[in-house]
């Protein structure tokens, strides 16, 4: 389903609204044109029938007005056919007044009309006819001269009301049928347009989805730039994104170079100071040695932090976990072989860390090294993936472990609980800071082996399970 705030929904909704308005307006306009055309044709037919009635009406030998129905439409001869005519005198005659004439279709009924129009004026309107038919009529008052008058005498014309009417139900049915066709036609056309627009929008936005997938591939380390052919409208965006990725890589490379140069620059003078202090024993040299060690710890810490920040900012960094765990476990097994400490590992080959390899090595290496220092004989590392798609690295040992107060202290930078053990006290603190930079979490607790358990949760890249 489309989300209401999506670009596809907005395009489809806008197109649908304008399509509905356009089709509805066009359908109404066509319907109105057809209605007027049908009514005009019906009125034209009535006018023609009125002209035929005028022509067919004439005085007979007795001087009475009669109608030759053979000159009229055959429907006037069928009872209640829907076509009617009526001819009525308007001038009352004192001797033998002429009766009203009507079509056979009217049978014994007459049309109920309003006031007659003026002489020579044609008017139209609506009335009810036989069987409650709705009729449209057209009428005119015409003066007919008296052909029976004596020669030389002034002929007095008589006015007659000529009326022709027709049932409009046929026209209304025709208009209704036409409107139904228009409604169905515009409805089908509208649905077709919506389907076509939906397909077009989907096809057009598929390119943006392609860009999104390409960016995801870069972020997960499966590609180093946007790949694929894009439309001319999208290609500039792809070019800019590729330029941004390349610029980011260049910035990180320069930062790493500067960090490395700074490390070499600082470590050399510190080594000279340490050597000089060892060759000149005394209270001053001991003080210098202590400060040099502090400076080394601080330099190592901040250089590691700077390098990690640069690594975490790299777009598309991706590291397979299994090779890192295997290499570190092999090296530490050899280092602590004399103490009888062995490292057991469980790490699927399909898991990858979304970050720099050196940072992963430093985090896992510090955790394993710390576990080996305190373990009696067993250390284990288990790597899995959580339901949220994140890596979970758990390192446990069978050593003495730590209580809650010691856990809080050990995570502080440079804090050492036992001075007899080698190290600078930066290991767990550095692991925690590196994990924080990647949005990860380091948690210490009690291992099922009896000693300390360090659980490290990190972002995963392109996780594949099963």
The answer, as to whether pTM is greater than 0.85, is: no
Q: How many other C-beta atoms can be found within 10 angstroms of the C-beta atom of residue 306?
A: 16
Structure tokens at 452: 């300390």
The whole-number average pLDDT for the span 386-411 is: 85
Residue 303 has pLDDT above 70, yes or no: no
Residue 264 has pLDDT above 70, yes or no: no
The single residue listed with the structure tokens 């009690």 is 446
The whole-number average pLDDT for the span 378-397 is: 89
Q: What residues form DSSP beta bridges with 352?
A: 320
For every residue of 401-422, DSSP letters joined together read ---HHHHHHHTSTT--S-TTS-
- Residue 174 three-state SS: helix
Residue 19 has pLDDT above 80, yes or no: yes
Most confident of 26-35, 156-165, 430-439: 26-35
| 97: confidence class by pLDDT, cuts 50, 70, 90 | very low
Residue 214 has pLDDT above 70, yes or no: yes
Instruction: Write out pLDDT tens, residues 63-88.
Output: 678 888 888 989 998 999 999 999 98
Residue 319 has pLDDT above 50, yes or no: yes
Q: Where are the domains of the chain?
A: 10-146+154-174, 228-316, 317-466
Residue 325 has pLDDT above 60, yes or no: yes
Instruction: Write out pLDDT tens, residues 48-64.
Output: 999 999 999 887 767 67
| Structural domain 317-466, CATH architecture | 2-Layer Sandwich (3.30)
Report pLDDT for 31.
Answer: 93
| 148: confidence class by pLDDT, cuts 50, 70, 90 | very low
Across 20-29, 254-263, 344-353, 446-455, least confident range: 254-263
| Helix, strand and coil percent figures for the chain, each rounded to 5 | 50, 20, 30
Report pLDDT for 301.
Answer: 63
Q: What residues form DSSP beta bridges with 319?
A: 353
Q: How many other C-beta atoms can be found within 10 angstroms of the C-beta atom of residue 268?
A: 10
Q: Which long-range contacts (CB under 8 A, 24 or more apart) does 256-261 make?
A: 256/307, 256/310, 256/311, 259/303, 259/306, 259/307, 259/310
Mean predicted lDDT score pLDDT of the chain: 81
CA–CA gap between residue 352 and residue 463 (Å, rounded): 7
The single residue listed with the structure tokens 């005085």 is 59
Report pLDDT for 154.
Answer: 43
Give percent of the chain with pLDDT exceeding 70.
82
Orientation angle between helical segments 283-312 and 427-437, nearest 10 degrees: 20
Pure H helices in 280-390? 283-312, 321-335, 357-374
- 460, 319 contact by CB (below 8 A): no
Structure tokens at 228: 């694929």
CA–CA gap between residue 137 and residue 126 (Å, rounded): 6
Most confident of 80-94, 99-113, 258-272: 99-113
């Amino acid at each position: 389903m489309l989300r209401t705030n999506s670009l596809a929904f907005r395009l489809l909704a806008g197109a649908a609204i304008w399509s509905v308005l356009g089709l509805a307006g066009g359908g109404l306009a066509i319907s109105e044109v057809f209605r007027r055309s049908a009514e005009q044709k019906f009125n034209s037919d009535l006018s023609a029938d009125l002209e035929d009635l005028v022509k067919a009406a004439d005085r007979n030998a007795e001087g009475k007005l009669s109608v030759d129905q053979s000159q009229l439409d055959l429907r006037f001869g069928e009872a209640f056919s829907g076509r009617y005519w009526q001819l009525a005198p308007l001038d009352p005659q004192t001797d033998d007044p002429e009766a009203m004439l009507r079509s056979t279709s009217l049978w014994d009924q007459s049309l109920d009309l309003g006031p007659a129009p003026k002489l020579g004026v044609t008017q139209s309107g609506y009335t009810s006819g036989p069987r409650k038919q709705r009729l449209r009529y057209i009428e005119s008052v015409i003066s007919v001269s008296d052909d029976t008058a004596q020669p030389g005498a002034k002929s007095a014309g008589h006015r007659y009301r000529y009326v022709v009417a027709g049932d409009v139900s046929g026209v209304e049915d025709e208009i209704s049928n036409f409107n139904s066709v228009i409604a169905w036609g515009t409805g089908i056309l509208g649905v077709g347009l919506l389907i076509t627009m939906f397909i077009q929008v989907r096809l057009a936005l598929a390119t943006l989805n392609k860009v999104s997938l390409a960016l995801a591939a870069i972020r997960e380390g499966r590609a180093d730039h946007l790949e694929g052919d894009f439309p001319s409208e999208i290609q500039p965006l792809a070019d800019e994104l590729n330029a941004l990725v390349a610029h980011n890589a260049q910035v990180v490379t320069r930062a790493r170079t500067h960090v490395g140069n700074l490390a070499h620059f600082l470590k050399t003078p510190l080594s000279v100071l340490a050597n000089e202090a060892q060759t000149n024993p005394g209270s001053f040299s001991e003080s210098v040695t202590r400060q040099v060690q502090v400076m080394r710890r601080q330099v190592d810490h901040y250089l590691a932090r700077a390098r990690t920040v640069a690594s975490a900012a790299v777009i598309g960094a991706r590291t397979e976990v299994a090779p890192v765990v295997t290499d570190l476990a092999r090296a530490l097994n050899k280092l602590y072989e004399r103490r009888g400490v062995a490292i057991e590992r469980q790490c699927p080959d399909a898991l990858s860390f979304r970050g720099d390899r050196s940072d992963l090595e430093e985090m896992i290496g510090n955790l394993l090294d710390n576990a080996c220092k305190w373990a009696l004989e067993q250390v284990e590392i288990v790597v899995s993936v959580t339901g949220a798609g994140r890596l979970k690295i758990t390192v446990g040992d069978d050593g003495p472990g730590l209580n809650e107060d010691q856990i809080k202290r050990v995570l502080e930078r440079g804090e050492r609980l036992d001075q007899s053990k080698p190290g600078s006290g930066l290991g767990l603190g550095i692991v925690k800071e590196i994990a924080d930079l990647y949005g990860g979490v380091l948690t210490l607790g009690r291992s099922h082996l009896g000693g300390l358990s360090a659980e490290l949760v990190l972002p995963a890249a392109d996780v594949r399970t099963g």
